[in-house]
Amino acid sequence: MSFTNLYYKRTAGTAKSCYICYKPTTTVLATINTSDFLYTCPTHLADRGFATTAGGTVDGARKPRSPPDEIAKVKEEWEEKQKKKAERKSQGKGEENEKSKEQDKAKEDDKGKDKAHNKEKNKEQAPETQDKEAESKPDTSHEQYTLHRDYFAMRLAEHRKRKQAAQAKELAPRLPSAPRSMPI
């Protein structure tokens, strides 16, 4: 066998057609020495009939986490959506909900004060935590995949054909030419 059934997911700069569905994609599965590579859609990587994850990432590195600022932003957006839903429901109920709206507004004011206080604390702690995070961030890693045995056999056959074609092309000039006249 010329290469093992262990592929690493990478992203390419230019999109090429997917090996399965021929749609343009920038996701590439490549062996460690890039002797074999194929472009695949991310949806195909989720298909167990095509490829399965090989249990982790290179060198056991962890995926980088989202910064706390992004997490806080998402939480705030979610809370706003929940409030809007509650307001829509409360509009249909009438006067009973007006009291709850007043209570909600009071709670929002308290939350706003707490958020402002938390932001001030974060600003004070930010320079120290940024230095620590910069030191502790792992290098980017690539997900590992193994192809289904049939797809891997197809890849091996294609690799073997390419190798044989290259050998035939190299050997062709050394072979004698065909006879040009009819034998008597």
pLDDT of residue 10: 93
pLDDT of residue 138: 42
pLDDT of residue 97: 55
Ranges 27-31, 159-163, 178-182: which has the least confidence: 178-182
23 pLDDT above the threshold of 60: yes
Across 110-133, average pLDDT = 56
pLDDT band at 139 (very low <50, low <70, confident <90, very high): very low
Domain boundaries, the chain: 1-58+141-169
Across 131-159, average pLDDT = 76
Across 133-143, average pLDDT = 56
pLDDT band at 96 (very low <50, low <70, confident <90, very high): low
Q: Give residue 11's Cα distance to chain centre.
A: 9
* Higher pLDDT pick, 86 / 106: 86
Mean pLDDT, the chain, whole residue set: 78
Return d(Cα 70, Cα 31) in angstroms, integer: 34
Ranges 10-19, 71-80, 132-141: which has the least confidence: 132-141
Residues for the chain: how many in total? 184
CB neighbour class for 31 (10 Å; exposed up to 12, middle 13-18, buried from 19) = middle
39 pLDDT above the threshold of 70: yes
- In three-state secondary structure terms, 35 is coil
- In three-state secondary structure terms, 145 is strand
Across 133-147, average pLDDT = 66
